[in-house]
Structure 1
Amino acid sequence: MDFITIGEMLIDFLPGQEEGSYIRNAGGAPGNVAISAARNGLKAGMYCKVGNDDFGKFLLDTLRENHVTPLAPEMTDDAVTTMAFVSLNEYNDRSFTFARKPGADMLLSKSEIKDEDLKDCRLFQAGSLTLSAGPAVEATEYAMARAKELGCMVGFDINYRNLIWKDDKDACTRKVLSVLKYVDFLKLSDEEIDMVGGHDKVPDVMKEYDIAVTVLTLGGDGAEVFYDGKSYVIPGFPAKVADTTGAGDAFWGGFLSCVLNHGVSSVDQLNAELLQEAVRYGNVSGSLSVQQKGAISSLPTREQVEQFLAEHKN
C-alpha cells in the first residue's frame, strides 16, 4: 500500500433539479484525498468503519469503485456517519445542515489499526476532522504514532470544525498541536494558519516538531511550501467558478501523489525542486476539481492533470 488515510466518508445531499429533491454524493476530506491519490496512480487504502445499512454500503461501494481499499471492519452495527444537507444561496455559496445516522465511521478503535496495513505504507494521512471525542481520537493518534514507528511518513491536514469542538477553538488547537510530533507533511489553509501562531511562526513550529514540509494553501492564489528553512510561493491556476467543493482535497491528494510517484519513501529523499513541482501538480488538481464541480466526482485523474500541464508549459 502506497498511501493510507484515516477518517470518515461523508454523504452530501445536494440540491437536485426539481424543488425538494436531492442528489446523494459521497464526500469527506479523508475519502476524497484517498480517491484523489488512487486516481493519480497510487495504491490507496482507507480506515473508515462502515455500518450495516444502505448508507454504509453506498460509501463502501464508492471507495471500491474508485480503487480505494477499505481497511476497517465492514457492515458493523456500531458505526455512524455524518450527513450534510446542502443548500445554495443566490451567490452559489453553500450552507450545510448536519445530521448523524447509521452508516460509516468515526467509531474506530485502536484495536482496528493493523500493523500489517501500515508496515508497507509509504505515507499515512490523517485529518483533524477525525480528532473528535471518544475512540476516534485515540485511534487516530495511535495510528499516526504507529505509522511513524513502522517507518511511514505521516501527513496531517488541519481542518478545524466548529461542529466537533462546539466553538472551543482553543481545545481544538491544543489537540492539533499535540499530534504534530508525528507529522512530516503538514497542510494548512490561510484560514487555519493561526492555529500554529500565524505565517511567521511556521518555521519555528516546523523546527520544534521536526516537520519536514508545510504547505499553506492560499485559496485561488496558489500555495506556499515551507522546506529546509525557506519558503516558495507557487501561483495557482484561475478556476473561474465560485464553487470550490473538493478543491483542497484534490490539491492535497495531487500534491502527495506527485511526491510518492517520484519514488519518495523517506523525508531524506525530498528536495525543493520536487516539492515545488508537487505544489504545481496540486494546484492543477485543485483547479480542475473546481472546474468540474461536485465532490468525489470532480477529482481529476493523473491523465487530466498531465494533459493540463502539457497544454500550459509556459
Structure 2
Amino acid sequence: MDIVCFGELMIDMVADEAGPLDGIQSFSRFAGGAAANVAIQIRRLGGNPVFIGKLGRDGFGQYLAAYMEQNGVDVHAVVFDQERRTSVAYVTLDRGGVPSYLFYRRGGACVNLRPDELDLQAVRQAGIFYFSTLALTEEPLRTTLYRAIHVTKQAGALAALDLNYRASAWPNEAGARREIQDVLGDVDILKVNREELVFITDCADVPAACEGLFRGNAALQLLILTDGAAGSAAFIRGQESLHFSAGKGIVVDTTGAGDSYMGAFLYALARDGLCLDRETVRRAGDLAARAAAHTVSRRGAIPAMPDARMLEL
C-alpha cells in the first residue's frame, strides 16, 4: 500500500558544533525536510512511499532527487523548477541536541508546486496522504495541498498531518494559527508535540486540549502527542489514551526524531490494514517510539533512521 509524502525536500546544513548560529564555523550537508524524512523512514522499514514535491533544477535539486532514489523512495511525481532554487535550512543544535532552524525557502521551488503539476493518480492510489504544516506557508503550494487533500478524501484514504510548526517559516504567528486550524477539519490523523498542542488550542491541559480538538474537528480519529523524554501518547476518538516510553538511550541529536516517529507509525498502520483500533495503534506507537529512540542516538536525521533489521521486524 502506497503512502504519499507531500511537501518539503530540502538541503539541511547542520552545524558541526553545538551553539548559536553566529558562532558556527562549519556545516555538514544532509538531505532533509519533514516529508522527505518520513518517506525514507517508511521505506527503510519496508513500506512503499511516494514523494510529491518540487525542486530547483540546480545542483542541490539533482542531489536530493538522486538521494531519494538511492534510498528507495519513488520520486516519479517530483517536479523540477527551471527558475527557482532548491530550498535550504540551516540547523543549529543546543548542548542537549535540540535543533533550531533558519529557512531559506520563501519564494523557492518547494513552495511553487502548482495544482496542474500535482500527480493525481499517485494521490488516488495511496492509502495514506501525509503532509506537514510547512506546506501551508505559501502559495501556490497551499492550494495544491488542498487539492490533494480533496482527492484523498474522495478516494477514501487517510489524511495524516504532522503539525511540525516552525515559526521562522511563517510570516506571522496569527496567520500560521489560522491556516493550521482551517486544515484540521480534513485531517484523520494528527501528530503534535506539547508546545504545538498549546499553540493551536491555547490550552495547557493535555486531556482538555485533545478533547477540544476532537470536538471541533469531526474527521479527526487519532491524535498523537510526542513529548521528548516523557515519551508519547495516542488518543483515539472515544477511547482511553495509550502511552509509549521514550527509552533511556543517549540523546545526540533530536533532528528528525519526530519524522522518524511519524514514518514508523504510518508504516505500521499501512502494514496492518489502516485500522485505527486500539491494538493496531498500540503496535504502531511501540514501533514509532523505538524508531525515534534510535534516530536521536546518532547525528543527522536521515543517516540515523533505523531499518527493519535494526528494529528486529
Judge same fold: TM > 0.5, yes or no: yes
Letter in 2 for 1:80: R
Letter in 1 for 2:90: F
Q: Corresponding residue for 1:182?
A: 186
Distance 1:292 1:5 in 2: 24
1:215 aligns with 2:246: no
Distance 2:121 2:31 in 1: 28
CA contact (8 A) 2:295 2:305 kept: yes
Q: Corresponding residue for 1:67?
A: 72
CA contact (8 A) 1:4 1:44 kept: yes
TM (norm. structure 1) is 0.88
Letter in 2 for 1:183: V
Q: Corresponding residue for 2:255?
A: 245
CA contact (8 A) 1:6 1:30 kept: yes
Following superposition of structure 1 onto structure 2, how do residues 88-107 of structure 1 map, counting pairs within 5 Å? 88=93, 93-100=98-105, 104-107=109-112
Out of 258, 263, 273, the residue aligned to residue 268 of structure 2 is 258
1:131 aligns with 2:139: no
Structure 1 window deviating more from structure 2 (43-52 vs 100-109): it is 100-109
Instruction: Provide, for residues 136-175 of structure 1, a one-character-per-residue CA deviation record: whole Å limited to 9, x for no partner.
Output: 1111122112111112111001122222323x32221111
Q: Corresponding residue for 2:304?
A: 298
Letter in 2 for 1:170: A
1:225 aligns with 2:238: no
Distance 1:88 1:254 in 2: 24
- Displacement of 1:15 after TM fit? 3.9
Instruction: Provide, for residues 14-65 of structure 1, a one-character-per-residue CA deviation record: whole Å limited to 9, x for no partner.
Output: 3459x94432111111100011111111111111112211110011011111
Distance 1:247 1:92 in 2: 11
Instruction: Provide, for residues 181-222 of structure 1, a one-character-per-residue CA deviation record: whole Å limited to 9, x for no partner.
Output: 211111011110011343213123224322110000011221
CA contact (8 A) 2:128 2:160 kept: yes
Structure 2 residue runs of 5 or longer lacking an equivalent are: 18-23
The CA RMSD measured in Å over matched residues stands at 2.2
Q: Corresponding residue for 2:151?
A: 146
Structure 1 window deviating more from structure 2 (115-124 vs 93-102): it is 93-102
CA contact (8 A) 2:77 2:122 kept: no
Structure 1 residue runs of 5 or longer lacking an equivalent are: 308-314
Distance 1:22 1:141 in 2: 35
Distance 1:306 1:297 in 2: 18
Matched residue count: 301
User: What secondary structure, in the 3-state scheme, does the structure 1 residue paired with 2:254 have?
Assistant: coil
CA contact (8 A) 1:213 1:225 kept: yes
1:111 aligns with 2:105: no
User: What secondary structure, in the 3-state scheme, does the structure 1 residue paired with 2:51 have?
Assistant: strand
Distance 1:273 1:178 in 2: 31
Distance 1:197 1:232 in 2: 23
User: What secondary structure, in the 3-state scheme, does the structure 2 residue paired with 1:122 have?
Assistant: strand
Percent identity between the two aligned chains = 29
Out of 108, 122, 126, the residue aligned to residue 127 of structure 2 is 122
- Displacement of 1:293 after TM fit? 2.4
Q: Corresponding residue for 1:278?
A: 284
Distance 2:96 2:41 in 1: 28
